[in-house]
Amino acid sequence: MTMDDWTPNSWTSKPIKQDVLYGDPQGLQSALTKLGKLPPLVTTQEITSLKESLRNVALGKAFVLQGGDCAELFDYCNQDMIEAKVKLLLQMSLVLIWGANRPVVRIARIAGQFAKPRSSPMEVIDGVEMPSFRGDNINGFPASPESRKPDPSRLVSAYFHSAATLNYLRASLSSGLADLHSPLDWGLGHVITPSIKEKYEHIVNRVKDALRFMQTVGIDTDRGVETVDVYTSHEGLLLEYEQSLTRLLKNPSSAATASTTTATTDHNNHNPQHSNPLASYYATSAHFIWIGDRTRQLDGAHVEFFRGIVNPIGIKIGPSMTPSDLTHLLDVVNPTREVGKVTLISRYGASKIADYLPAHIAAVQASGHIPVWQCDPMHGNTQSTPSGVKTRHFSDILSELKQALEIHRAAGSFLGGMHLELTGEAVTECVGGAAGLTEEGLGERYTTFCDPRLNEKQALELAFLVAGFYRDMDEKDESASPL
């Protein structure tokens, strides 16, 4: 398998999981044609900047914080909800910078995280069988056969909701939302736990003292304290959508001008990516997209599509992944062994991580690949209450993260980040944490349309605890040093 046989639509010749069957082929083609003519949502320069940052993460020089909704709804495209998520990521990253003493790369599950894989394409509600809700870019949540019918026009709606979200995100950041001169202005929203507030305010005061010192000595000239990069991401589940937004674009480092074209034309007999080395194929729906645990088959359509794009990509790995399949998969999607090109997002569960992660680390180390290792402590720890409500226990989430840190440290590897489902809203979906949310309290504000998310205070508390783990490890290393 070589890149010479890859085209943006070569995935259509492969078996596919989690595909969507539309009853309106003409409507689908119309939507895809429209998407193929629209501008990219992100730029090649932004994608390249993220790749450089993730290379540093893979080498242990930085930490990546990725988080956001399990599944976005179009209704989430509003000022308050966008700001709440971004402010929470900014607060968490400030805490992690303090604890891990490394730069933090911020990637939001936003502006495109609409589709979700489901265990069954159909479900029965009130005795009526209907398609499962697959996400706002596929069908509607209201429980009726008509609402649940896949609608291809939703693909175009997804683009414009993503574009509006990105527009406000960029405008907010460039207008000073992330200014480190006033991190208290980010607010603590629904965080009412005194200990968390005190810890956060302590860090803020340390930052403000440092900035005052920089200003006093005349080195407060770097706009890096006034804004940050926040990248976008989603699971690349709908390949028709991803292909329609894949573009052959000039590489940012190229001095010469290369032609620009969409990937919706026929490239079966010609692959310009190799005839024109100044240009490459970029998935412009987001800066970072990932392959889910249900769609990472070696001979499958998703792996075929992902192996041809320049973007940094993620792969979810769980207990069903064998070490040999993992290294084979890395060889397929990253044959040149580009450092940090692939992020391995492990999702085992607190009770299983010790059984699987060490062998996966050893296999990757032996293969010569240097990926970003990221822990997703959410998906392997999902469970249901006796009444059938899906939830996650804060203690399990924390346990998997702590074990991941310790296992990587023992193996001479580096846990480069964490991947969380969270929201800046005061939801009650995960039990535990300092506020002591119980299963009986889940119904107070359980608003997710898919999986349970950490609320603001739980997410910030988790950031403090992970930061504490790093500080403890660094102190142990210092005390063990002979110098």
Whether the Cβ atoms of residue 457 and residue 473 lie closer than 8 Å to each other: no
Whether the Cβ atoms of residue 425 and residue 357 lie closer than 8 Å to each other: no
User: What sign results for the dihedral spanned by CA atoms 12, 35, 163, 256?
Assistant: positive
Is 316 assigned to a binding site? yes
77 in the Ramachandran plot: left (φ > 0), alpha (ψ -120 to 50) or beta?
Answer: beta
Is 198 assigned to a binding site? no
Is 379 assigned to a binding site? yes
What is the rounded distance in angstroms from the CA atom of residue 395 to the CA atom of residue 400?
Answer: 9
Task: Classify residue 284 by burial, with Cβ atoms within 10 Å: 0-12, 13-18, 19+.
Answer: buried
Whether the Cβ atoms of residue 18 and residue 237 lie closer than 8 Å to each other: yes
Q: Which residues contact 216 (CB under 8 A, 6 or more apart)?
A: none
Report which of 287, 340, 335 is spatially closest to residue 53, judged by C-alpha positions. Answer: 340
What count of other Cβ atoms lies within 10 Å of the Cβ of residue 340?
23
Whether the Cβ atoms of residue 147 and residue 141 lie closer than 8 Å to each other: yes
Is 109 assigned to a binding site? yes
SS3 36: helix
Whether the Cβ atoms of residue 413 and residue 58 lie closer than 8 Å to each other: no
What is the rounded distance in angstroms from the CA atom of residue 245 to the CA atom of residue 39?
Answer: 8
- Structure tokens that stand for 304 in this block: 């075929």
Whether the Cβ atoms of residue 132 and residue 138 lie closer than 8 Å to each other: no
What is the rounded distance in angstroms from the CA atom of residue 433 to the CA atom of residue 457?
Answer: 8
Q: How far is CA 44 from the centre of its chain?
A: 18
What is the rounded distance in angstroms from the CA atom of residue 471 to the CA atom of residue 398?
Answer: 16
Residue 96's alpha-carbon distances to 92, 99, 212, 237, 417, in angstroms, are 6, 5, 21, 30, 10
Is 148 assigned to a binding site? no
**How far apart, in Å, do the first and last CA atoms of the chain sit?**
51
Task: Classify residue 57 by burial, with Cβ atoms within 10 Å: 0-12, 13-18, 19+.
Answer: buried
Output the known binding site for Mn(2+): 70, 379, 421, 451
Output the known binding site for phosphoenolpyruvate: 109, 316, 347
Output the known binding site: 70, 109, 316, 347, 379, 421, 451
